[in-house]
Amino acid sequence: MEWYPQNKEELHALVETLMKPSEGEKPSKESKETKEIHGLIVPHAGYEFSGKIAGKAFTMLKKQKKKKAIILGPSHSAGFFGVRVLNEKETPLGKIKIIKNDYEKIDYEHSVDNELPFLQELGFEEFLPLVIGELDNQEAEKIANEISQIKDAVYIFSTDLSHFHSYKNALKQDKKTIRIIEKLKVEDFPNINACGQFPLLVFLHLCKIKNWKPELIEYKNSGDITQEKNSVVGYASFIF
């Protein structure tokens, strides 16, 4: 399955469009754009569904000087405990330079891959694309401590929210997950309804270690985009 265009010029144009405010939409607040940004939480569905929600967050990195990105996304196709790193990777926008690491390799994961073109378009040069399997609290804290030691990096946590509920039920489920993220409630981790539940557990620990606070940028679900509201997927973006 192709999650974004495989033609370089088409992908470049699309990512640029996704990072521009929609007609009538106010640009992101200047205070958010100029302060130091440590990272984002962004969705990873096909760009036609969640690309604008992700793009609204990524555009806030345009004025950042950091050119190193650590991406953490959930595993959708391979079951394992702990963490893996994407093998050598190339998108239509170019080859990815992967930061030296000792993690076991994995060949592909769209939750990480879908974030790469945004970061390439923004001029990021080095990447640590991590795929997160099942974790317990101790392992999540260990990973958070490991990645917290990497200097001059932006952290990208990739997750969609609830899946295949009615529009009304999705709003209810996603509101709970957003509250847990905003309040950094590690103890409420089991109540997170998101495919990226385990990357989010690492996120909660990382924010505790670094004393960072997340702020919601935008929430929508697929029903807002397609108008099909019987079975939807939730999307949210945060800055921290």
Q: What's the pLDDT score for residue 63?
A: 86
Taking only the tens of pLDDT, the chain with its 240 residues reads 678 899 999 999 999 999 998 765 665 554 444 578 999 999 998 898 999 999 999 999 998 889 999 999 999 988 889 999 998 788 999 999 999 999 999 998 999 999 999 999 999 999 999 999 999 999 999 999 999 999 999 999 999 999 999 999 899 999 999 999 999 988 998 999 999 999 999 999 999 999 999 999 999 999 889 898 988 999 999 999
The terminus-to-terminus CA distance of the chain in angstroms comes to 31
pLDDT at residue 33, rounded to an integer: 47
DSSP tag of 61: G
What are the distances in angstroms from CA 175 to CA 60, 198, 207, 216? 23, 18, 20, 11
- Bridge partners, residue 187, by sequence: none
- How do the domains of the chain map onto residue ranges? 49-226
Choose the CATH number for 49-226 among 1.20.1090.10, 4.10.520.10, 3.40.830.10, 2.60.120.260: 3.40.830.10
DSSP labels, 105-150: EES--HHHHTTHHHHHHTT--EEEEEEE-B--HHHHHHHHHHHHTS
pLDDT at 77: 84
Q: What is the pLDDT of residues 142-179, one digit of tens each?
A: 999 999 999 999 999 999 999 999 999 899 999 999 99
pLDDT score, position 96? 92
- Which structure tokens are listed for 77? 């196709």
Report pLDDT for 209: 95
For residue 182, what are its two tokens?
């905003």
DSSP state of 98: B
